[in-house]
Amino acid sequence: MNDLSAVSSSAQLAMKADAPLFIVLNAGSGKHDAGDTQQTLAGIFDAAGRRHEFLLLDSATDIESRAKQAVRLACEQGGIVVAAGGDGTINGVAQHVLGHPCAFGVLPQGTFNYFGRVHGISQETEVAAKALLRAIPTPVQVGLVNEKVFLVNASLGLYTKLLEDRETAKAQLGRSRLVAMGAGLMTLMRERRQLRLTLEARGQSRSIRTPSVFVGNNRLQFDRLGLPEGEALEHGQLAAIVVKPTRALAMLGLALRGALGRLGDADNLIRFPMHRLTVHPHRHRMIKVATDGEVNHLRAPLVFRVAPEPLLLMVPAPEDRVEVK
């Protein structure tokens, strides 16, 4: 039995079938009103006789305090911390669950939800909530960059700029896929900055100019982009994608290849799996890094690695798993 199997087996023995749920609910995620979502979830858990408590988020600044409160309650009462929201909310709650002896549940309500989908969790709130009642605690890999958690990906450079410009456009023009796509295209056409970095991985060091570095921790996202390095994520590694210095039209070509699931055919990418990657930015002490879509300012050097301990995720039972489409 390997380490993850041992963790899973011991967790299943320790987890009570009626473990209380402490639900951190983001009022700003998803298509439905938070009040309606809370009412729906409460009805499901009440009908099942499952004790639960909601900790509502009014803004992003609430995540730390609400997540810490949920973790404290779960640890004291043998409960489960549940994040209900998009990738940013799920990441923010997971940051505080990691390293504590309590399980983590997910009720995805954002747009992409790669983390939930790769583990067979339904994107429909009612379906996911009912599956959570029968879910099995299972250890899953977590990525870290300077101790900041990422469940899906972490990046610096152009991808981070894309996220910032997308959020600015949504704030001005409304939240829609069309607005997000338009903002992304404008960023690709206008952005010219290149990062000067030294990368250290697998015992080798390399200096490079690049518009973007992307480190992934989600097999589904890599498969959708057509990148075979996603297989490494099943073997305790992360996968890095570094873009070679590239003109605007070539960047648009990369974006198109990604949309078509053919990014693996591109010859202007450096791709490699690794357990640890150290990035030394030239001239920068602080640098913007996006983790699961949220932008942070981190101090250099940046160290990307697999967390030494897994996150104990409540994964749907086999009969409740939703196949990825």
Q: How confident is the model at residue 118 (pLDDT cuts 50, 70, 90)?
A: very high
Q: How confident is the model at residue 247 (pLDDT cuts 50, 70, 90)?
A: confident
Please tell me whether residues 9 and 121 are part of one structural domain: yes
Q: How confident is the model at residue 151 (pLDDT cuts 50, 70, 90)?
A: very high
- 298 domain-assigned: no
Per DSSP, 320 falls in state G
pLDDT above 80 (res 117): yes
**What's residue 64's pLDDT?**
92
Please tell me whether residues 105 and 202 are part of one structural domain: no
**What's residue 9's pLDDT?**
45
Please tell me whether residues 113 and 10 are part of one structural domain: yes
* Contact by Cβ (8 Å): 239, 209: no
Please tell me whether residues 45 and 126 are part of one structural domain: yes
Per residue in 12-52, pLDDT (tens digit) is: 445 688 999 999 998 655 555 668 899 999 999 999 999 99
- Number of structural domains found in the chain: 2
Pairing of strands 238-243, 212-216: antiparallel
- 176 domain-assigned: no
Section 183-206 average pLDDT = 79
- 119 domain-assigned: yes
Please tell me whether residues 133 and 204 are part of one structural domain: no
**What's residue 6's pLDDT?**
47
**CATH code assigned at 85:** 3.40.50.10330
Please tell me whether residues 281 and 313 are part of one structural domain: no
**What's residue 172's pLDDT?**
61
pLDDT above 70 (res 146): yes
- 112 domain-assigned: yes
* Contact by Cβ (8 Å): 272, 237: no
Q: How confident is the model at residue 292 (pLDDT cuts 50, 70, 90)?
A: very high
**What's residue 13's pLDDT?**
43
pLDDT above 80 (res 319): yes
Please tell me whether residues 272 and 314 are part of one structural domain: no
- 218 domain-assigned: yes
Q: Crossing angle, helix 125-132 and helix 34-47, to 10 degrees?
A: 30
Section 161-165 average pLDDT = 71
Q: How confident is the model at residue 2 (pLDDT cuts 50, 70, 90)?
A: very low
Residue 95 to residue 190: CA distance in whole angstroms: 34
Pairing of strands 294-299, 286-291: antiparallel
**CATH code assigned at 201:** 2.60.200.40
Tokens 């873009």 appear where? 243
Residue 137 to residue 57: CA distance in whole angstroms: 25
Other CB atoms within 10 A of residue 52 CB: 18
Select from 309, 318, 274 the least CA-distant residue to 104.
309
Of residues 257 and 115, the one with the higher pLDDT is: 115
Residue 114 to residue 120: CA distance in whole angstroms: 10
Other CB atoms within 10 A of residue 182 CB: 15
**What's residue 284's pLDDT?**
79
Contacts (Cβ under 8 Å, ≥6 apart) of 94: 83, 104, 142, 149, 151, 311
Q: How confident is the model at residue 68 (pLDDT cuts 50, 70, 90)?
A: very high
- 78 domain-assigned: yes
Please tell me whether residues 11 and 75 are part of one structural domain: yes
Section 177-202 average pLDDT = 72
**What's residue 302's pLDDT?**
97
- 304 domain-assigned: no
Domain that holds residue 267: 153-158+192-291
4-18, 70-84, 245-259: which has the minimum mean pLDDT?
A: 4-18
**What's residue 28's pLDDT?**
59
Section 192-213 average pLDDT = 92
Section 282-306 average pLDDT = 93
Please tell me whether residues 89 and 214 are part of one structural domain: no
Please tell me whether residues 315 and 266 are part of one structural domain: no
Q: How confident is the model at residue 175 (pLDDT cuts 50, 70, 90)?
A: low
Give the range with max mean pLDDT: 23-32, 111-120, 195-204: 195-204
* Contact by Cβ (8 Å): 291, 145: yes
pLDDT above 50 (res 291): yes
Please tell me whether residues 197 and 132 are part of one structural domain: no
pLDDT above 60 (res 88): yes
Of residues 14 and 89, the one with the higher pLDDT is: 89
Please tell me whether residues 127 and 17 are part of one structural domain: yes
- 212 domain-assigned: yes
